Structure formats: structure tokens, C-alpha cells
Amino acid sequence: MKVLVVLAHPDPASFNHAIARKVLDVLLMNDHEVVFHDLYRERFDPFLWAEEIPVGAVLDPVLERHCTELQEADGIVIVHPNWWGQPPAVLKGWVDRVIRPGVAYRFLEGDSGEGIPLGLLKARVALVLNTANTPEERERNVFGDPLERTWKDCIFDLCGVRDFRRRMFRVIVTSTPEQRRQWLSEVVELVDGCFPAVEQ
Amino acid sequence: MKVLVVLAHPDPASFNHAIARKVLDVLLMNDHEVVFHDLYRERFDPFLWAEEIPVGAVLDPVLERHCTELQEADGIVIVHPNWWGQPPAVLKGWVDRVIRPGVAYRFLEGDSGEGIPLGLLKARVALVLNTANTPEERERNVFGDPLERTWKDCIFDLCGVRDFRRRMFRVIVTSTPEQRRQWLSEVVELVDGCFPAVEQ
């Protein structure tokens, strides 16, 4: 399978980077084809400008490549910290620009843009791996975990990816090395569950 | 009162810009001191880098000014379209960078960052004005309106701004000029309600 992996965290020494490395390890071990983007390292341009919005707009080559990769992906893995119930801005910019009409969804004929779009992604499964410093109870009772709705319903379900899985690792800031090792084992299981080894 | 107004939309001819102009009109008419940022026009840098994260980090002068304006604001108005249940990336970047520890909130002594922070903003009221192309029923039933939780609970309540008001104007793409005029009258009422004329 072709698997697209997108990471957004500014610190190469972060647990998010450790998660992403583990994701790549498992995917390669299982003989999948992997496309990986570390959006911070690549300084992905997060600005969606007005000229780029219309269906059929001319896209810059970097964006064109991102769109093709998304279209061709059989699976998608997203890794990012929970910042204010949302991803870091650079990943929000990737969503704004790459998950575009004609690539990830389209409106039905006669629809001016207010109707229910048709998902176009062929990816069968999307896995979102998050880190947070907010304890689970507070997230549930006070913040309501907006990331779940955003990735699951607003984005992936709309684009036709029905098998959605997500795991939030917390609390990072007070975690022990042992706890992190345990979490990375969970990452292995999750990725292996979504993308098992290719039969020879 | 000092009122901070932040706008994020790429098209100067957009209804978001019309809303922002109306907000500014009312604030000035009511004799308030206004600080206005059109984040797209200013090309606000949305990248929060690792070095900028710690409390007390040295900030670039542009960011320093944004932080001071946020701290000094007696009221805040945010204007943006609903893109995937979130603001455009540039505004997410403003949140990531400007709403920072030591400016908008702080952790209590002995807290490593996992506890409940103390809000520091002196603003009494925050008003968020959004546009959308999703009908209200679909937003409620399918997407769950993540923007409400994000702005109200994750951001403003955490930073100590308890009086939160929000209005989503929809459906923009199929709206008539008459409908838009009516919406702008609502903007006038909302802003006037939050920030009445200063008594002479």
C-alpha cells in the first residue's frame, strides 16, 4: 500500500518525531511504499491565497505534488501535538491547501458549494496520532476534544475515508521514559493494525 | 476601551472583510481605541518554532507588539471563515504564537505544564464572527461545530475571558445582497452590544 505520513512539530527531539520515526519503521518493515512530510522541516507554506481557491486553479509544483500524493495514498497517518484543540498552523495550512476540491472532494452538479460534497479520496484508513499535556478528564469535561470532530467528521469522513482511528498520548510533559517506550509500542500495534505486512 | 480586531481571509472583496470594516466603523463611532490586524495582508508569520515556546523566550519585535496589544486589550474581536471547523492557518499561527504563557495565561508554581493554567487576559469580552457555507443543521448534526469549543473553552475561557459571544453567518455562497446587508446590521448590533459608546 502507499501510505502518506504527515508530521507537524517544531522540535526534532520531540516525542512527536519519535512517534513519526516509529510509524515509518513499521510501514517500511511491512513493505509499504511510504511518502513522508515533516512540514516544519520543509517549511511548508501554509497560506491559502484567494487565487488558489477555485477548482481547477493553477497550483505551484510543490502543492501539485502534495495533492497527487494525497490522491494516490491508500492510507494516511497524521502526527501532531494538540495545540488549542487544533493542529499547529503549518498542518492547518496543509489541510487548507492540499485537501482541496477536485482532489479530496467535489460538489455535485448544480451545487453552488453549500451542499453535501462527495468524498474523492481512495485511502481506506486514516490514523491520527496526537500528543497532549492536558489530562484526559479535563480534555473531556472542559474542552470537549475538538480534534476528534475536526479530523474524523469535518475532514476524513467528508473526503470519503470511513475507517478513522485516533490515539491521543498524554500527559507528555510529565511522562517517564518507560511510559514513552510503552506508548511507542502502542504506535507499533496501531500502525501494524492499520497497515499489516504485505503478503509475499 | 482598547479593542483588538483580528481578521483572517485572503480575499479583500470577501464578506469577512465587509464584516471587519463594519466592526471597525462601529468601534470608532463609539469612540474606542482600535488595534486592527488583517493577518493575510500583513503576511503574519504563522510558524511557532521550538525556541519561541519557553516562557521568557526572546520574541521578535513584531510578535512582541502582538503580545502587548493582546495584553492591553479590553475587548477582542476575531473575524474568519470556517475552514474545516478551524480558522485559516495564518490565524491558527497567531493563536499558536501570540496566546502564549506569560502573556495570556500562566501555570501555577510547581506545575510542570499539565495543570490548570491561570488566565491572564484583562479583556472582558471576546466576540468571534464567522462565515460558513455549511447549513446550520448539517453543521450541528454532522460536524458538531468544533469552532465553538475551540474559541470559547480551549482559548478564551482558559485565558480568563468569560464573556464570550459568537455569531456564524451562513450560507455565504448562496446569499443575496439583501441578506448580507441584514447580516451587517446584525454585526452593528453585536459590536454595539459588546462595546457601547463611551460616555462623554
Per-residue pLDDT reduced to its tens digit, B107-136: 887 777 777 899 999 999 999 999 999 999
Q: Over the stretch A123-141, which tens digit does the pLDDT of each residue have?
A: 999 999 999 999 999 999 9
Percent of chain A with pLDDT over 90: 92
Q: Summarize the confidence of residues A1-29 as an average pLDDT.
A: 98
Residue A200 has pLDDT above 70, yes or no: no
Q: How far is A134 from chain B (nearest CA, A)?
A: 6
Asked if residue B116 lies in contact with residue B66, where contact means CB atoms within 8 angstroms, the answer is no
Mean pLDDT of chain B: 96
Bridge partners (DSSP) listed for residue B79? B7, B129
The residue in chain B having the minimum alpha-carbon distance to the alpha carbon of residue A148 is: B146
Q: Name the A residues in 26-85 with CB < 8 Å from any B CB.
A: 40, 43, 46-50, 53, 83-85
B22, exposed or middle or buried, with CB in 10 Å at 0-12, 13-18, 19+? buried
Look up the CATH number of domain B2-194: 3.40.50.360
Interface check B161 vs A, CB under 8 A:
no
| Domain assignments of chain B as residue spans, ordered by start | 2-194
- What burial letters (b/e) apply to A152-186, b meaning 16+ CB within 10 Å? bbbbbbbbbbeebebbbbbbbeebeeeeeeebbee
How many Å apart are CA B106 and CA B163, to the nearest integer?
20
Between the alpha carbon of residue B148 and those of residues A85, A132, B32, B67, the distances in Å are 11, 20, 27, 23
Interface check B174 vs A, CB under 8 A:
yes
Q: Over the stretch B33-52, which tens digit does the pLDDT of each residue have?
A: 999 999 999 999 999 999 99
Residue B88 has pLDDT above 80, yes or no: yes
Structure-derived torsion over alpha carbons of residues B11, A93, A148, B86, reported in degrees to the nearest 10: -20
Contact criterion met (CB < 8 Å) for A90 and B47: yes
Q: Phi and psi (nearest 5°) for B6? A: -125, 125
Q: Which of A41, A116, A130, A149 to mutate to test the interface with B (most CBs of B within 10 A)?
A: A149
Q: Which of A136, A150, A172 to mutate to test the interface with B (most CBs of B within 10 A)?
A: A150
- Nearest to B16, CA basis, from B39, B32, B43, B33: B39
| Residue B149 binned pLDDT confidence (cut-offs 50, 70, 90) | very high
- Nearest to A150, CA basis, from A100, A82, A90, A198: A82
Comparing B105 with A112, the larger pLDDT belongs to: B105
